[in-house]
Structure 1
Amino acid sequence: MYMKHLVSGLLLSLAISGAAWAGPTPPARRAATQKHLIYFKDKAGSPFQLDQPDAFLSARAQARRQRQNIALTAQDLPVNPSYVAQLKAVPGVSYWYPSRWFNAVMISCDDATLAQVQALPFVRQASPLNRKKTAAPASDTYAPVSAATQRSVAGRRSDYGKAYAQAVQLGAVAMHDAGYRGEDMHIAVFDAGFPGVDKLTPFQPLFAENRLASTYNFVDKQPAVFLRDGHGTSVLSTMAASQPGFFTGTAPKATYHLCITEDVASETPVEEMNWLIAAEYADSVGVDIITSSLGYTTFPDFPAATHTYAELDGNTAIGTRAADLAARVGILVLNSAGNDGNGAWRYIGVPADADSIIAVGAVDSVGIRSGFSSVGPTADGRIKPDLAARGGQAAVIRPSGAVVLGNGTSYACPILAGMTAGFWQANRNRTAQEIIALLKQSGTQAAAPDNLLGYGIPDFVRAYNLANPGTPLGTRPVHNRGEVRVYPNPSEADQFFLTLPAELQRRPVQVRIFDTLGRLVSEQTLVGAAGPAQLSAAHLIAGTYSCLVNAGTVQYATRFVRR
C-alpha cells in the first residue's frame, strides 16, 4: 500500500517486455486467471552480451556505473527472448513483464495453463502473486493549512511559500543558495498516480524545460500517468514544484521519471513485482535516485503472502531484493519507513528493510518524531529507519492545486530525496553508498543512532563540509548575489560568454561544464575577469550542458544549449 512516452522505443521495450513490446495476450479463461512469477533456469543462448550494453542500457545508465566503478554482470542481461516467445505461445498465457534481475517474467493464466508453463524445459519455478481484489484505503492524512500556519511561514522566505520550513530543516535552502537545485539529476518517483501534474502551474517548468523525461503506468501497462490516485501528485510536489512565491520543492530543477506501481484497489505481491520492474526500467534509462513512498507488510487480498517480521531481514521479500539490486547498480534508493508506529505492527515495511537504501522516518516542525512513523530494528538487528525528515504536517500540493498539510512518511521521503539530489549534484564524484554514509554522518543523531529516527535529520551544509573539508560552505545562506549567465544561449558559435556577478569578478574562478550524463567535459580557471569571460565551445557536441562556477565557497550553476 502507499503510505497510507518520452523514452526511446528500444529501451522502453527492453525494460518492460524483454523483446518486442506487445499488449497482454487475451487469457483463455478470464474469470479463473491469476498472476504468477515464472523463473527461468538460465540465460543461455541469449543474443544479449555484456560487451554490447547499448542493446539494453542507455548511455546514461552506463555512465552511472562507470562513475562508480560498477561492472556489468550476467544479472544485468535481459531475459532470453526465445524463452519469452515460447512462453507467450502457450494458449491462455497473458504476458505482462520480464525481470532481468530475477531472470523471470510475470504472466497471468489459469491453473491448467500454469501446469503447461511449468512443464516447459527452461522454467525453474512458479510463484503466485495475487488472488481477489478489494478496495484499500489511503493511510496518509491531510488537513487544510490554517491561517496561523500560513502567517508563521509567510514572509520568512517568500519563494518557498508553505514549503519553506521543511526545506530549511534539511539545509535545502542553503543548498539552493549554493547553486544546487538538482540540475541534471534524474529522479524516478514510484507511486499510485499523478493526476493534475500536467495541468497545475507549479509543475509547468517540468514541461517547459523538458525535465519530465519519461512516464509509465506499470499497473495498466501504458504510458499515461496523470490519472489514478492523487498521492503521487502530493509526493512529487515536495520535490519538483516550482512556483516562486507559492511553493518550491527541494529539487525544483531535477529531471523526473514518473512511474505508477501501486494499485490502490488491491493489496498483493503484484505491487512488489511492479516495483521491481519499475526499478529495472529506472536503471535502464539512467536514473540516479529512486524515491518510493510505498510499503508492504500485510496482503488482505492474499493473506498467505503476508510478510512476517522475520522476513524483514533485508534479503527475503521481492520488493526488498529489488531495492538492493537497484542499489547494486549505483542507484540511490529512498523509501518511506511506514506509518504503523502507533499500531500493533510498529515496524517498517518492505522495501524499507533493504540494507543498502535510506529508509526515511517522519518528524514534525521542531524535529520531534511523529508518533505514526514506523520503527526498527530489522529482523536481523539493523538500525531502521536510517534518516528522518518532515512528515508531520508537511506542506504538499493536492491534485486540485490546493496546498494542504499532510501526515505521513510518504512526504518525509521525497522531501529528503530532493535534498539528496542536490547533495549528490554537489559531490558528483561520490558513489551512491558514499552519499548515504555522508548524510548519515550529518544527522542530528549521528553519534547515537536509534530505531526511532536512525541517524536523525541530515543537513546539507554539515554533509557538504564533511565531504569537502578543504572548501567548506558557510553556515549562512548568501542573498541577492546576482546571476551567472551563459550567452548566446542556445549557440552555434565556437565561443560563448559567461557573465559574472560582482562578487566573482577580479577573483580566481573555476568553471566546470558537465554533459547530461553528469560527465565533466570541460574545466577552466578564470583569473581576474572584470566583465564577461570568453569560453570555448568548439569541442562541445550539440546538446544541453550544466555550467558550475565557483570561487572558494561561493557557487553558482546555470545551463546552456549547444547547437
Structure 2
Amino acid sequence: MKRIIGFFILLMILQTALPPDAEAAPAYAFRVKFKDKNGTLSFADSLSFLSPKAMQRRNKQGIMLDSSDLPVVQWYIDTAMQTANAVKLHNVSKWFNQIVLITFDSSKVTQLSALPMVASVKLVARYPNGNFKMETSFNKTTEVNPVQNKTTGNSAYYGLSFQQIDLIQSDCLHDLGFLGEGMDIAVFDVNFRYTNTCAAFDSLNADGRIKDTKNFVKDTSFVYSVSIPNDHGMNVLSCMAANQPSVYVGSAPKANYFLYITEDISTEQFIEEDNWLSAAERSDSIGVDLINSSLGYNIFDQPHIPYTYANMDGNTSLIVKAANKAVSKGIFVVQAQGNEGAGAWIYMLTPADGDSVYSVGSVDGSGAWGQSGYGPTYHGVIKPDGVCVGKGVVLIGGNCQTGTTNGSSFASPTMCGAIACLWQAHPELTVWELRDLLRKSSSLYANPNNTLGYGIPDFCKAHQIVLGNTDYTKTENSFVVFPNPINDNFIIRNVTDNTPFHYQVFDASGRRVFQSALIKSWQVESESLKTLSNGTYIMMIVTGSKVQTIQLQKL
C-alpha cells in the first residue's frame, strides 16, 4: 500500500471522443482472456515476433516454439474493444492469450463475457476519476542513509560495495574478466530517476548500454521522471550497473540494461501484474538473458481481494505464472523475496513463490538473516533460493551519492548481476543448470532452511564446479567429528584419505561464524567453537573435489 500526499495531474487527451463528463467518471481496466487462437497463424509466423537474439537464446537451451508464441487473434481484440466501448488497449499477452482494455462503461462487462471467443473477464483496475494515465507526486522513496566510513573490509577498486560483492565471491569472476559484457538484463521496477545524469552511470550511458526503456504504466518510453520523487529503480540498478572505481562498483558493471517501469506507485491493483507480464514478453521478444524484479505483491486496494499464504503456491497469481513462463522461454528470473519476515504477513511475496524463479532473501554483511520473507511456498518448495547483502546494503541514492538502506529489493540485483557474470563465463548452461549450480555452491545446500533457503552462493566455487575442479554435490561421508555434541574441543578426522581440507561453521540462521585455514593433515583438534554460544551449528568441510556438511550441537 502506498500513501498519496498530493496530486499534480497531467491527464492525457484521449484519442477517442468521450462524453462531456468522461473526465469525472471512473475508468475500469478489464483483463479479457480468450478461448483459443483460432489457428490463424503457424509457428513459422511467430518468428516475426522474436528477434534473432531471442531465437539464439532459445536454440542454445533447446527450447521449442509453442502456441504461446503465436499472437492473439486480431479480430478477437477488435471485437472485445468494440463491445466494451473501450477507450484504450492497455496490453496484449500472447503467452496467456489475453488483453487488458480500459473503458468508462463497466456495464458492458456482461456483453463482453458473453462473446463466444471470451473465456473470462476480470476487473484488474479501477481509476475513480478516470485518470488512468495520470502523473502524480509522492513522498514515498527509498530511505537511504549516509555511509559510515569503514576501517576494514574495503577494496580500492570496489569502494563501498566491496562487502556485498565479496560475501558472494563474485569479485572472483570480475578478476577473470567476466563483468557482464554482452549480457542483457531487464530491470522491472518503479522509476529510474537520475539514471541518465548520475556520475555512477556515466559509463553505462556513454557506452550506450541502456538498450531499451518502457513505462508500461503510462505507455511511454520515458523512465526518468523527476516529478515522481522515487528512486527505487535507480537504487536497484546501481547494485548491478554502477561503475565508479574506488567509490562504488556494481556486480555487473559492463552488462546491457533494459529499464522497464511496471509498478504504479499511486495504487496497488492487479493491473500491475499485467504490466509485469507485458515487460516479460517484451524481454523475451528482444532476447534478454536475465530479469531482475524487485517488486512483490500480496495486498491490494479495494475492491481487489488480497492474496493469502495458500495463494503462494507458484501457480495462482498472474505475475508468478508470467515469471515461470519467462523461465520456460530461457530467461533467468531473479526475484526479491520481500521484507515481510518481521511483520504480520511473514512470508515471501509473489512472484517469489515461483518454482522456476530464483528468489533472493536478505542478510547483513556477516551473513545474518535480514528479516526477508520466510519460505517455503505453500506447496513446500524451499524459498528463498539464495541470499546476499540486503541489510545495510550500500547503493547509489537519489542525491547520486553512496548511501545505505535495507531490503531484499537490493539483495536481488546484486545477485542478478553476479549470475549474469557467471553465465557470461559459461554461456553453454541452461537456466535450469544455472539454478542448480547456484544451489550447489551455496552455504546451506545440504541443509536448506526457511529463512536463508540454500544460503549464500559462492560464485568462485560455482565457476570451479563448471570447470570440473570442484564437485559441490551431496557426497558420501569422508569426515567424522567427535565428540558430537561438543563442549570446547573437538576432533575432525578424514576417514578415507589424507586429502587437505578446510572447513566453515554456520549458525542456525546461516551466518558464517568460523572459517579455517587449509589443513594438511588427516586429523585436527580444534577449539574453534569455544567462544560460541550453545546451540546448533552446521559445519561444511571442503576438499578439492567434494563437500560434506555435519550438524553439530554445542553444549
Residue 244 of structure 2: aligned partner: 243
Alpha carbons 1:131, 1:302 under 8 Å: kept: no
- Cα distance between partner residues in 2 of 1:27 and 1:114: 19
Structure 1 residue runs without a partner (length 5+): 3-21, 473-563
- Cα distance between partner residues in 2 of 1:381 and 1:269: 25
After superposition, the Cα gap between the structure-2 partners of 1:27 and 1:329, relative to the gap in structure 1 and judged at 3 Å, is: farther
After superposition, the Cα gap between the structure-2 partners of 1:428 and 1:274, relative to the gap in structure 1 and judged at 3 Å, is: same
Q: CA deviation at 1:26?
A: 6.2
After superposition, the Cα gap between the structure-2 partners of 1:24 and 1:383, relative to the gap in structure 1 and judged at 3 Å, is: farther
Structure 1 position 353 matched with structure 2 position 377: no
Residue 333 of structure 1: aligned partner: 333
Identity %: 39
Matches of residues 80-479 of structure 1 in structure 2 within 5 Å?
80-90=73-83, 91-109=85-103, 110-131=105-126, 141-147=143-149, 149=150, 151-152=151-152, 156-227=154-225, 228=228, 229-299=230-300, 301-370=301-370, 372-470=371-469
Question: After superposition, what is the alpha-carbon deviation per residue over 1:108-145, rounded to whole angstroms, capped at 9, x for unaligned?
Answer: 12212333333333222101112357999858543211
Question: After superposition, what is the alpha-carbon deviation per residue over 1:407-450, rounded to whole angstroms, capped at 9, x for unaligned?
Answer: 00000000000000001111100101110110011011111001
- Cα distance between partner residues in 2 of 1:70 and 1:84: 28
- Cα distance between partner residues in 1 of 2:310 and 2:394: 35
After superposition, the Cα gap between the structure-2 partners of 1:366 and 1:51, relative to the gap in structure 1 and judged at 3 Å, is: same
Paired amino acid for 2:93: S
Secondary structure of the structure 1 residue equivalent to 2:100: strand
Cα RMSD after superposing both structures: 2.2
- Cα distance between partner residues in 2 of 1:308 and 1:65: 35
Q: CA deviation at 1:34?
A: 1.2
Paired amino acid for 2:313: D
Secondary structure of the structure 2 residue equivalent to 1:189: strand
Larger CA Rg, structure 1 vs 2: 2
- Cα distance between partner residues in 2 of 1:161 and 1:23: 49
- Cα distance between partner residues in 1 of 2:187 and 2:258: 6
- Cα distance between partner residues in 2 of 1:96 and 1:26: 17
**Residue among 67, 88, 112 paired with 1:74:** 67
- Cα distance between partner residues in 2 of 1:443 and 1:24: 54
- Cα distance between partner residues in 1 of 2:287 and 2:165: 26
Residue 62 of structure 1: aligned partner: 55
- Cα distance between partner residues in 2 of 1:204 and 1:136: 27
Alpha carbons 1:332, 1:432 under 8 Å: kept: yes
Residue 525 of structure 1: aligned partner: none
Alpha carbons 1:215, 1:258 under 8 Å: kept: yes
After superposition, the Cα gap between the structure-2 partners of 1:349 and 1:27, relative to the gap in structure 1 and judged at 3 Å, is: farther
After superposition, the Cα gap between the structure-2 partners of 1:384 and 1:141, relative to the gap in structure 1 and judged at 3 Å, is: farther
After superposition, the Cα gap between the structure-2 partners of 1:427 and 1:27, relative to the gap in structure 1 and judged at 3 Å, is: farther
Alpha carbons 2:46, 2:69 under 8 Å: kept: no
Question: After superposition, what is the alpha-carbon deviation per residue over 1:453-479, rounded to whole angstroms, capped at 9, x for unaligned?
Answer: 10001011111111221599xxxxxxx
After superposition, the Cα gap between the structure-2 partners of 1:455 and 1:139, relative to the gap in structure 1 and judged at 3 Å, is: farther
Residue 28 of structure 2: aligned partner: 34
- Cα distance between partner residues in 2 of 1:247 and 1:290: 22
Alpha carbons 1:251, 1:419 under 8 Å: kept: yes
Residue 540 of structure 2: aligned partner: none
Alpha carbons 1:237, 1:249 under 8 Å: kept: yes
Structure 2 residue runs without a partner (length 5+): 3-12, 129-135, 472-555
Paired amino acid for 1:325: K
Residue 520 of structure 2: aligned partner: none
Q: CA deviation at 1:58?
A: 0.6
Q: CA deviation at 1:185?
A: 0.6
After superposition, the Cα gap between the structure-2 partners of 1:383 and 1:138, relative to the gap in structure 1 and judged at 3 Å, is: farther
Paired amino acid for 2:299: T
Q: CA deviation at 1:406?
A: 1.1
- Cα distance between partner residues in 2 of 1:136 and 1:292: 22
- Cα distance between partner residues in 1 of 2:404 and 2:18: 44
Secondary structure of the structure 1 residue equivalent to 2:391: coil
Q: CA deviation at 1:203?
A: 0.9
- Cα distance between partner residues in 2 of 1:27 and 1:436: 51
- Shifted more, 289-298 versus 76-85: the winner is 76-85
Give the TM-score taking structure 2 as reference length: 0.77
- Cα distance between partner residues in 2 of 1:287 and 1:197: 20
Question: After superposition, what is the alpha-carbon deviation per residue over 1:15-74, rounded to whole angstroms, capped at 9, x for unaligned?
Answer: xxxxxxx9875666452321110001111153x431233311111111110000000000
- Cα distance between partner residues in 1 of 2:459 and 2:243: 20
After superposition, the Cα gap between the structure-2 partners of 1:471 and 1:386, relative to the gap in structure 1 and judged at 3 Å, is: closer
Which structure would you say has the larger RCO, counting Cα contacts within 8 Å and 6 or more residues apart?
A: 1
- Cα distance between partner residues in 1 of 2:215 and 2:15: 14
- Cα distance between partner residues in 1 of 2:62 and 2:463: 22
Secondary structure of the structure 1 residue equivalent to 2:419: helix
- Cα distance between partner residues in 2 of 1:65 and 1:24: 39
Paired amino acid for 1:193: N
Q: CA deviation at 1:98?
A: 0.3
- Cα distance between partner residues in 2 of 1:297 and 1:288: 27
Question: After superposition, what is the alpha-carbon deviation per residue over 1:321-356, rounded to whole angstroms, capped at 9, x for unaligned?
Answer: 111000110100011000110011100011000000
- Cα distance between partner residues in 2 of 1:190 and 1:26: 33
Secondary structure of the structure 1 residue equivalent to 2:157: helix
Paired amino acid for 1:115: T
